[in-house]
Amino acid sequence: MKAMILNQITSLDANNEPLTAVEVPIPEPGTGEILIQVSVCGVCHTELDEIEGRTAPPQLPVIPGHQVVGSVFQNGPEATKFQIGDRVGVAWIFSACGRCDFCQAGLENLCPSFKATGRDVNGGYADFIVVPENFVFPLPVGISDQQAAPLLCAGAIGYRSLQLTGLQNGQTLGLTGFGASAHLVLQLAKFLFPQSLIFVFARSESERLYALSLGATWAGNIQDNPPTPLNAIIDSTPAWLPIVFALKFLKPSGRLVINAIRKEETDKDVLSQLDYPQMLWLEKEIKSVANITRQDVINFLDLAARIPITPEIQLYSLAQANLALQELKRGKIRGAKVLVVQE
């Protein structure tokens, strides 16, 4: 099968192509696993973190990709949940132990044995992928393969982020950064909290205009003061500077939820701008998002079909994976990027 593989950790710039096109054997599904023929696979900022070593794969080479849509091609022994040809999706959560205290409490995203698709095991930048059937999701009718791909990570992790804010209808919400996840969270928040005002902080004017076109109440730059303090803010940027300003813009007892596995920026001067009395005092909170659970994906896919949520997507061929990643690194983003694996 065709696949794009990561052979080594490297810095990603406009001239660097970190993934190599190869032909590799089609994997065989083991007990309780299924073989999926990949139709499309979303491109996520977490792939940049993998490539550049901030959340490095435990072994190389590896096939990235964790927003996978395809059809069941083969059932392994004792795999009975799906029929051949069923349309399914695979998310960041590849597996969890099911036995630890976290798993038993419904927090399998915190499982010490958590495995991530496309990082800890081979992912969806390929013609086929093998996945445990209990971590595969049936996809709603009416959502195309290409639109479904970003729902599996950008959407599901956005859903978890919104839940973690504790937002109530009528309260104010901020979104810092306006890429694949935030443009879905905006649509979700407008549905779940119709009386809430939503404020977007983004670097580029095009992102701000796009946010306003989707119904944002206000849009400004990262450092612009919003018209009113906010009850909650979700940060989905790769940098530290937006964290400092987000804390400044929160109301007393407000909560900042950081939707990022890793942060790129390490400049200590940024954190030196943190003014405790202004930015953290009065019981303001910071909460991180760690991975997703299967229930997050199930709940969000149901909501996405009912609302309905329509992702903005940019399409690339599998062979253009490096180009999609380079554009993502440069911040050339409108909605979500999706690789078309089967033409």
Instruction: Give residue-wise pLDDT tens across range 317-327.
Output: 999 999 999 99
Query: pLDDT digit string (tens) for 179-194?
Result: 889 999 999 999 999 9
Cα 58 to Cα 7, 8, 51, 122, 237: the distances in Å are 12, 11, 12, 11, 25
Strand-pairing partners, residue 126, are 3
* Mean pLDDT of the region 85-103: 98
Identity (one letter) of the amino acid at 139? L
**pLDDT at position 279:** 84
- Structure tokens that stand for 141 in this block: 């009718």
- CA-nearest of 309, 330, 314, 338 to 162 is 309
| Mean pLDDT of all residues belonging to the chain | 95
* Mean pLDDT of the region 305-310: 93
Percent of the chain with pLDDT over 70: 99
**pLDDT at position 14:** 67
pTM of the model: 0.93
Are the CB atoms for 175 and 299 separated by under 8 Å? no
Query: pLDDT digit string (tens) for 236-292?
Result: 998 889 999 999 999 999 999 999 888 887 666 777 788 888 888 899 999 999 999
**Residue appearing with tokens 């911040």:** 331
3-state class of 341 per DSSP?
Answer: coil
**268 sits in which H/E element:** helix 268-271
pLDDT at 89 over 80: yes
- Structure tokens that stand for 142 in this block: 């009416």
**pLDDT at position 174:** 98
Query: pLDDT digit string (tens) for 140-149?
Result: 999 999 999 9
Q: Say how many C-beta atoms besides its own lie within 10 A of residue 61's C-beta.
A: 15
Ramachandran sector of residue 147 (left: φ over 0; alpha: ψ -120 to 50; beta: rest): alpha
* Mean pLDDT of the region 74-90: 98
Q: What residue ranges do the domains of the chain occupy?
A: 2-138+312-340, 156-288
Q: Buried b vs exposed e over 189-228: b needs ≥16 C-beta within 10 Å?
A: bbeebeebbbbbbbbeeebbebbeebebbbbeebeeebee
**pLDDT at position 81:** 97
3-state helix, strand, coil in the chain (%, to 5): 30, 25, 45
Q: How confident is the model at residue 127 (pLDDT cuts 50, 70, 90)?
A: very high
Q: How confident is the model at residue 221 (pLDDT cuts 50, 70, 90)?
A: very high
Query: pLDDT digit string (tens) for 19-60?
Result: 999 999 999 999 999 999 999 999 999 999 999 999 999 999
Are the CB atoms for 219 and 232 separated by under 8 Å? no
Phi, psi of 63 (to 5 degrees): -95, 115
* Distance in angstroms (rounded) separating the CA atoms of residues 70 and 128: 9
pLDDT at 164 over 80: yes
Return the CATH superfamily for domain 2-138+312-340.
Medium-chain alcohol dehydrogenases, catalytic domain (3.90.180.10)
**109 sits in which H/E element:** none
**pLDDT at position 266:** 67
Q: How confident is the model at residue 6 (pLDDT cuts 50, 70, 90)?
A: very high
**pLDDT at position 271:** 75
Query: pLDDT digit string (tens) for 115-126?
Result: 999 999 999 999
- CA-nearest of 329, 332, 300, 327 to 67 is 300
**Residue appearing with tokens 């083991």:** 30
**pLDDT at position 267:** 65
User: Does CATH place domain 156-288 in 3.40.50.10680?
Assistant: no
The gap from C-alpha 192 to its chain's centroid, in whole angstroms, comes to 20
Query: pLDDT digit string (tens) for 191-220?
Result: 999 999 999 999 999 999 999 999 999 999
